[in-house]
Chains A and B, each alone.
Chain A
Amino acid sequence: MNVIETKDVSKIYNADTIPVYALDKVNLTFSKGEFTAIVGPSGSGKTTLLNIIGGLDDASGGSVMIDDKDILKLKGNQLIDFRLKHIGFVFQAYNLIPVLSAKENIELIMLLQKWPEKERKNRTQEMLQVVGIANKTDSRPSQLSGGQQQRVAVARALASKPRFVLADEPTANLDSKSAENLLDVMLKLNEEEHITFIFSTHDPRVIKRARRVITLEDGKVVSDVQQNTNIKNQ
């Protein structure tokens, strides 16, 4: 079952002068429960593709179908509400809300989605346990290490059980141990909750553990391979 389908998605900068193709007619489909890495050199269009799939950026052409709905046609609050309901984001720079504690950051999306208080609290506790920072619930982001902040970011993205999670180089700022731990957490959630994960990454540790690897170069898909990985033991 396809969750996302991109059809001829293009992103062109300087269309009127010297056009630069950030994405050039990208056609991809993503199924439920995938754990996919999008790789490629800097400037190949990885982040642009993720931003367009997540409705954070406009495309110059094509469509992004999610549940038979072209999200490129959604505007303003419609698009924001769509992101709220269906997409979880994990950013390279964590991007937590600095005035909220770890627990409050995780709760935020559920609050915006108006979850009942009891369910929200339970889910927050559950996520804190899963990502392994249950002892840091009341710490503000500035009091957490990079790895801990990224765990909170993952917990925030996953807490509301989105259809899919888009992660833009989630391990770029983490040391090896933190990166491995985070990958373990994400794979566990992927397996247990069947949430689709799509990463953009340069990190061989992530690539190694992804089940599908899509390679982009100059805005074009140059390879799309399935990997048979034994995740835990690698």
Chain B
Amino acid sequence: MKTLLKIAWRNIWRNRTRSLVVVISLAIGIWATVFILAVSDSLHIESLKDGIEYKYGHIQIHNPEFIKNEKIELTIPNGDKLLKEIRNDNQVKTATGRNKVSGIIASAGYSSNVKIIGVIPDWEEETTLLKSRLSLGNYFSDSIRNPLIIGEKLAKKLKVKLGNKVILSFEGKKGTLLTSTFRITGMYTATQVRDEEMLIYADHKDLTKLAEVEGQYNEIVIKLKDLEQLENYIEPLKTRFNQPNVLIQDWREANPDLEMISDMIYQMDIIVIIIVLIALAFGIVNTMLMSILERYKELGILMAIGMNKTRVFIMIVMETTLLSLMGGAIGMIIGFITITGFSYKGINLSLFSEGLSGWGFNEVVYPTLELRVYFLITISVIITAVITSVYPAVKALMLKPNQAIRKQN
């Protein structure tokens, strides 16, 4: 085996330029793959984190009818009692209740469709860090009647400033149209433009009083101390509150769009890897076929003097694998260095900000890649190399030693 390895290694360097071109192309291909995966995975992880931290929490509870038809009167039965019980659970870090209703916000000259979210100020702050995301003004205050927090982009659209009054209109119980004046006390920014334009936050008490659903919630959001414990906590919770009008879901179930994006990113990653591996495979096959054609006579001699087909096969597989591993390793090392560098500095993708924010992605991405992905790519490269070496190796085995020896180089 050592001899075969030695011959294989020396064979690679017989045509230095060709081998170097192959190694460099492989390295660039692998580097690009690793880097693209790191960027896309980081965008995805950031988007998930953003969704969980700022909006969805780990677990959500709704009245199932509310999911089908988002009306403010479709509240969770005994929601208040349920929320208090959950907040006392050991595994729960925090939980809050919300009311949600679609409506229209209007300033003196402009209006826009919005989703009004009634929040319990202190508990919401614990759960989704709303207060920390304020860019202008203050959080809810008891001293101001009907305080409202809106996104900066919406404020720009409505041409309103802090302290301005706006009118909120929405559908109340039994289809009644409710209208009230609110004062903008704070503004926030969000990674998603859509959120900044659509989501506005009012005090739960003001909203439920107006809609006559006081002490009731459309949504309960739970954050656990340890996300790893999600499965262990949610199942007993479902049993505990097994009622017809109580639907308990984890963040994936409650937000299929997040799951969809996850799946899509995963599929795109696979597609990128497959494309690179196919290109890599063709490159390797081409090089190895050329190399074997050039060494036709020599392979014939090896077989004539007693190197059996298995050894010839192994030697060619070794050559291919060594060539691929060199390219793969260099690509992986450069990829690791680049990713580590950018993971501190970040990559500014503001050029694509509109498209990115539509998918809930940040403008600045800090690429990181899990070690297992490096491992996965390495394994994929090796498997591809071995598979692609089969064809040239089989071609080599088909030669007849006496004909090969007679061949003039």
- A-side residues, CB < 8 A to B, are 51, 54, 56-57, 76-77, 80-81, 83-85, 89, 91, 95, 97-100, 104, 108-109, 111-113, 156-157
CB–CB B301/A108 < 8 A:
no
B305→A83 contact, CB < 8 A: yes
Residues from chain A with Cβ under 8 Å of B297 in the complex: 95
Q: Are A99 and B306 in contact (CB under 8 A)?
A: no
* B301/A97 in contact, CB under 8 A: yes
Residues in A neighbouring B311, C-beta threshold 8 A: 112
Task: From B7, B304, B306, B310, give the contact of A100 (CB < 8 A).
Answer: B7
Residue B246 at the A interface, CB < 8 A?
no
Instruction: List chain B residues, Cβ under 8 A from A76.
Output: 309
Contact A81 B309 (CB under 8 A): no
Contact, CB under 8 Å: A77 / B309: yes
- Contacting B10 at CB < 8 Å: which of A95, A99, A157? A99
Asked if B14 and A99 make an inter-chain contact with CB atoms under 8 angstroms apart, the answer reads yes
Contact among B7, B308, B400 with A77 in the assembled complex (CB-CB below 8 Å): B308
Q: Is the CB of B307 within 8 A of A91?
A: no
Query: Counting CB contacts under 8 A, is B405 at the interface?
Result: yes
Chain B binding surface, main DSSP class: helix
Take A98-B298, A99-B7, A108-B3 as given contacts and tell me if A57 and B306 are in contact as well, using a CB distance cutoff of 8 Å.
no
Q: Given the known A-B contacts A51-B402, A56-B401, are A97 and B309 also in contact in the complex, defined by CB atoms under 8 Å? A: no
B7 touches A80 (CB 8 A): no
Query: Given the complex of chains A and B, what is the CA–CA distance between A56 and B402 in angstroms?
Result: 5
B304 and A99 within 8 A (CB): no
**Is there an interface contact between B308 and A80, defined as CB atoms closer than 8 Å?**
yes
* Residue B179 at the chain A interface, CB threshold 8 Å: no
Q: A97-B7, A99-B10, A100-B7 are in contact. Are A109 and B306 (CB under 8 A)?
A: yes
With beta carbons under 8 angstroms apart, the residue of A51, A80, A91, A111 that contacts B301 is A91
In the bound assembly, the distance between CA atoms of A77 and B298 in angstroms comes to: 18
Taking Cβ atoms with an 8 Å cutoff, the residues of B that contact A are 3, 6-7, 10-11, 14, 297-298, 301-311, 400-402, 405
Contact of A109 among B10, B305, B309, B401 (CB under 8 A): B305
B302 proximity list for chain A (CB < 8 A)? 97
For the complex with contacts A56-B402, A99-B14, A108-B3, 13 further pairs of A-B residues with Cβ separation under 8 Å are A77-B310, A80-B306, A80-B309, A84-B307, A89-B304, A97-B7, A97-B298, A98-B298, A99-B7, A112-B3, A112-B307, A112-B311, A156-B305
> Assuming the A-B contacts A99-B7, A99-B14, are A91 and B405 also in contact, with contact meaning beta carbons closer than 8 angstroms in the complex?
yes
The CA-CA distance from A54 to B305 in the complex, in Å, is 10
The CA of A57 and the CA of B401, in the complex, are separated in Å by 8
Measured CA separation A112–B309 after assembly (Å): 12
Q: How far is the CA of A83 from the CA of B304 in the complex (A)?
A: 7
Question: In the assembly, what is the distance between CA of A77 and CA of B405, in Å?
Answer: 18
CB–CB B305/A81 < 8 A: no
B309 and chain A: residue at smallest CB distance: A77
Closest to A50 in B: B402
Contacts of B11 in A (CB 8 A): 99
> Can you offer 9 A-B residue contacts whose CB atoms are under 8 A?
A57-B402, A84-B308, A95-B405, A97-B7, A99-B14, A112-B3, A112-B307, A113-B306, A156-B305
Provide the bound-state CA to CA distance between A197 and B304, in Å: 17
A57 — which chain B residues lie within 8 A by C-beta? 400, 402
State whether B306 touches A81 (Cβ < 8 A): yes
Closest chain A residue to B7, Cβ basis: A99
> Are B304 and A56 neighbours in the complex by a CB distance under 8 Å?
yes
Chain B nearest CB, measured from A157 CB (Å): 8
CA distance A81 to B309 in the complex (A): 10
Bound Cα distance A56, B14 (Å) = 27
Q: Which one, A51, A77, A89, A104, contacts B305 given CB within 8 A?
A: A89
Q: How far is the CB of B397 from chain A (nearest CB, A)?
A: 9
Bound state CA distance, A92 and B190, in angstroms? 80
Which residues of chain A are near B3, meaning CB under 8 Å?
108, 111-112
Q: Tell me, in angstroms, the Cα distance from A85 to B308 when the chains sit together.
A: 12
Q: Are B301 and A81 interface neighbours, CB within 8 A?
A: no
Q: A56-B402, A97-B7, A99-B10 are in contact. Are A81 and B308 (CB under 8 A)?
A: yes
A98 to B405 alpha-carbon distance, docked (Å): 14
**Residues of chain B within 8 A of A95, CB atoms compared:** 297-298, 301, 405
Q: What are the residues of chain A within 8 A of B303 when measuring CB–CB?
A: 80
